[in-house]
Amino acid sequence: MLIHDLLSPERISFDVHARSKKRLLELISQKLADNSTDLGQREVFESLITRERLGSTGLGGGVAIPHGRVKGIRHVEAAFFRLAKPLAFESSDGKPVDVLFALAVPEDCGEDHLKLLAHIAELFAEPGFMTELRATNSPAQLLKLLSGTGQ
């Protein structure tokens, strides 16, 4: 599964403003539910909150990958957010996040979603890639960057 195939321009947001982690997860839930017949905003939000209660999805380096299993969906749904100002996210390094790649995965996804998470985390841990990613200003630029990496 290629990362750029999971994203559509409608699910890419730049300069997002959020005052709290909870509000940010609400915005992510809404974005994932928009343009989807399978996803409800409330179900997505509950799955993200449930996962965050197990431990923060903030990886460090300003990156988080909020994700949750959602009953009733058939395939992985993704959204990308870049924040206007970094936000405290209880990340492993204690630093706030400004880049988020969110996933809603089917409840029965098995190990596939773990491989996807590991793949995203590996890509987003590359300093050169993150410099380029943070310099993108449009969905088209972001999708081009992701497709150029073969991801």
Has this prediction a pTM greater than 0.85?
yes
* pLDDT, average across residues 3-20: 91
Rounded CA separation 23/5 (Å) = 27
Q: Which of 4, 17, 67, 75 is catalytic?
A: 67
Provide the pLDDT confidence category of residue 87 given band limits of 50, 70 and 90. Answer: very high
Provide the pLDDT confidence category of residue 150 given band limits of 50, 70 and 90. Answer: very low
pLDDT at residue 31, rounded to an integer: 95
Contact 77, 95 (CB under 8 A): no
SS3 56: coil
* pLDDT, average across residues 110-118: 81
User: Tokens 């431990």, residue?
Assistant: 55
pLDDT at residue 85, rounded to an integer: 97
Task: Tell me how many domains the chain contains.
Answer: 1
Provide the pLDDT confidence category of residue 149 given band limits of 50, 70 and 90. Answer: low
Closest CA to 82 of 122, 36, 124, 133: 133
* pLDDT, average across residues 84-88: 97
Burial class (CB in 10 A: 0-12, 13-18, 19+), 116: buried
pLDDT digits 0-9 by tens, 13-70: 999 999 999 999 999 999 999 877 778 899 999 999 999 999 999 999 999 999 999 9
Closest CA to 69 of 107, 116, 126, 34: 107
Instruction: Please confirm, yes or no, whether 17 is among the known catalytic residues.
Output: no
Return the higher-pLDDT residue of 33 and 1.
Answer: 33
Amino acid identity for residue 116 in this structure: L
Closest CA to 122 of 151, 93, 83: 151
Domain of 105, in residue numbers: 3-148
CATH number of domain containing 136: 3.40.930.10
pLDDT at residue 2, rounded to an integer: 65
* Average pLDDT score over the chain: 90
